[in-house]
Amino acid sequence: MLFSARLFCGQLSPDDVGRSVLLAGWVDAFRDHGGLMFVHLRDRSGIVQIVFSPEIAPAEVCQRAAALHAEYCIAVRGEVRKRLAGTENPNIETGSIEVLVTELTVLAESDALPFAVSDKAMVAGAPSTSADNVAEDLRLQYRYLDLRRPSIRDNLILRHRIFQCVREFLDSRGFLEIETPVLTVSTPEGARDYLVPSRVHPRSFYALPQSPQIFKQLLMVGGMERYFQLARCFRDEDLRPNRQPEFTQLDIEASFIDEEFFYELIEELAVKMFAIGGIALRRPFPRMTYAEAIETTGTDRPDLRFGLRLVDVTDVFSQTNYSIFRQILNRGGCIKGINIQGQSGKLSKNVLQNEYAREIVPSFGAKGMTWMRAVDGSLESNIAQFFSRRELDSLRKRFDVADGDVLIMIADPSRAVVTSALGPLRLHLANRLGLVPADSYCPLWVTDFPLFEATEEGGVTSSHHPFTAPNRTDFDPNNREELLKLRSRAYDLVVNGEELGGGSIRINDRQLQRKIFAALGLTEEETRQKFGFFLRAFDFGAPPHGGLALGMDRAVSMILQTPSIREVIAFPKNRSAACPLTGAPSAVSREQLAEVGLLNLGGPDALPGTALKENRLDHLSWVSRIGVAEEERAMIEDVLAQADELALLASQKAGAEQPIYSVAPVVNRTRPGTECQRSERARTGELLAGAPAVKGNYFQVGSILE
């Protein structure tokens, strides 16, 4: 069969009517009309109906067609014709034509399917099947079948388009696509590393990159000026629904730039990427400082698709007689709230008191809340009588209250408790009340993050990573209070409450970088050990630079509006970070562990066959590196026994001499003529102490030495 003549099913059109075509693909669905057989033939481009008619196709072809089943892989030859009026199928793009088959080749048969692949009904108006409700682990176990489903296929095609768009755009802006190592040392992004043991360096490990951060900065020191990479990153973090242990990020770094360069570049790129999903983003994206984001939305990932902004009313109650508020304010606390406009119909006293005050708000970490409903020009609540006229009037003004509005306020001695409870409460209310508009996309930049966060141990840790430039350089690295006040030159891109990416302007001054490590509590020795090679690069004229990374799985999932990022990854891990298809992560054999020196990290290990009662055959097999199958054992044992007999005979003939183990005298081949000295450690066996695996007097060595 000459596939070079093959055409794509989905690309046939009424223009092809009368044409003889060769098609190849899979049987998506079929209908047998007593002799007349209709098949949906599917390839990557789409579906076309093919018809086996006893009037056109040879009897033998019709016979074989009758034996076709779902997902058989076939090739057919036939003629394109227009469908009879009334039999068109709007479910498929080629629904106005069909192909009358004259030849059929079955390329490969298929077993019965674990779930339906087909999701295009063969007849107009008929319901389609869908695997969307199939257990996800089953779909992932047979991912290659799942990938044949048009919806997943389309996701991967569009993912490819988005990646191509990124490449073309960045290339047009002078960026070079450069790969960085995957087997490397730890990169500090705040997660745990995935470690890979080295066989040739026993007990040493590579780390998989949490990001290419260190290398992209070294590329800037290396004068590459503009770099990007669609990089695979690995982070060993706790399981969360939309998180994958390995993910793809668009990693970017550039020299001689400032923040504005990235705002401009990424906004332009994001507009192009989202347009592939038919989504128009408006530029310029608004900007919000971290402090403003926390104060008005209770999070550093604000969802701006709806209002419900947080309003501070602490000052309104500065003279209050309401004892709960007074006590909280006396302890330096704050009071903030939300006006839920026009929703008093949906938020009854009962819902506010019994659901929100008793259950929902405490689940967000606050001790309680106060509610008020605006009815007939006044504010009513279970505690309204404790507030003065002036306080109630000020509240109305501050929240711009109209009849039908509902106020919810939270007071606490800790400002952080107030904002971190109001943040999720704001989202909860928006979802419950249907205030989140569909098909709306609100990107923004969040800036001026704190450079450091406090640790429980009384120190500080980087909010982003330790290479982020601070807003000031004249700080004292030992003054924790001062450190916690520093802002960073970092920026995050947030869309609809999700962080799509982030980055920063970096430190390019070696003294400042050392100062940051000192602030993080690293001694000079620790700094040298962990980042010595990196800091050394900054001794050679490092240019000012900065960059950022966008999470591509998340971005593509948002652009294609899929329910999870797993729908846009060809072979994702499931929710518990496992792969139902391959069974990864999986156990490895003792031999593999021994090979990488991991059988027993505490000292030399016993290899199989070293058991106390040593088996001579296993021992020989290990020393000679020749595997012995179970059924060969008896025969080899026989040969060994005969060899023993021969050796015994030979030794009896030669008299009572001991068998010889070493026939060559020990010589020093490095310095000929020098007398040979045996190490004392060889005699005591200590020489083998560091060997990865030891067996008797042998130890395992790299094969080059063998």
Contacts with ligand ASP, residue ranges (CB under 6 A): 189, 211, 213, 502-504, 547-549
In this structure, is the dihedral angle defined by the CA atoms of residues 17, 22, 28 and 31, taken in order, positive or negative? positive
Residue closer to ligand ASP (CB basis): 227 or 274: 227
Report the amino acid identity of residue 72. Answer: Y
Please state whether 381 falls in left (phi above 0), alpha (psi between -120 and 50) or beta.
beta
Q: How far apart are CA 636 and CA 583, in angstroms?
A: 37
Residue 478 in 3-state DSSP?
coil
- Return the H-helix or E-strand segment holding 684: helix 680-684
DSSP count for the chain of H helices, then E strands: 20, 25
Q: By the 8 A CB rule, do 599 and 590 touch?
A: yes
**In the complex, least distance from residue 550 CB atom to ligand ASP, rounded to whole angstroms:** 9
Dihedral through CA 424, CA 427, CA 431, CA 433, nearest 10?
Answer: 100
Residue closer to ligand ASP (CB basis): 52 or 491: 491
Count CB-CB contacts under 10 A for residue 359.
9
Residue closer to ligand ASP (CB basis): 68 or 220: 220
The crossing angle, in degrees rounded to 10, of helices 290-297 and 415-432 is 60
Joined together, the tokens standing for residue 175 give: 């960026």
**In the complex, least distance from residue 501 CB atom to ligand ASP, rounded to whole angstroms:** 7
Residues in the chain: 706
Q: By the 8 A CB rule, do 243 and 221 touch?
A: no
Q: How far apart are CA 597 and CA 588, in angstroms?
A: 13
Joined together, the tokens standing for residue 90 give: 């709007």
Could you give the residue ranges of the DSSP H alpha helices within 368-502? 389-399, 415-432, 480-485
CA distances from 350 to 336, 346, 371, 424, 677 (A): 22, 10, 11, 21, 92
- Return the H-helix or E-strand segment holding 255: strand 246-255
Is the preceding omega at residue 585 within 30 degrees of 0, hence cis? Answer: yes
Residue 350 in 3-state DSSP?
helix
Residue 488's φ and ψ, nearest 5 degrees, are -110, 165
Q: By the 8 A CB rule, do 401 and 407 touch?
A: yes
Map tokens 């962990």 to a residue: 530
Joined together, the tokens standing for residue 459 give: 């120190």
Q: For 38-42, which contacts have Cβ atoms below 8 Å and span 24 or more sequence positions?
A: 38/98, 38/122, 39/65, 39/68, 40/92, 40/118, 40/120, 40/122, 41/9, 41/74, 41/76, 41/99, 42/9, 42/118, 42/148, 42/150
Q: How far apart are CA 620 and CA 413, in angstroms?
A: 75
Q: How far apart are CA 510 and CA 493, in angstroms?
A: 28
CA 578 and chain centroid, separation: 13
**In the complex, least distance from residue 189 CB atom to ligand ASP, rounded to whole angstroms:** 5
Q: What is the largest CA-CA distance in the chain?
A: 122
For the chain, the distance separating the N- and C-terminal CA atoms, rounded to the nearest angstrom, is 52
When CB distances to ligand ASP are compared, the closest residue is 211
Map tokens 């003629």 to a residue: 79
Between CA 289 and CA 292, with CA 291 as vertex, the angle to 5 degrees is: 65
Q: By the 8 A CB rule, do 41 and 9 touch?
A: yes
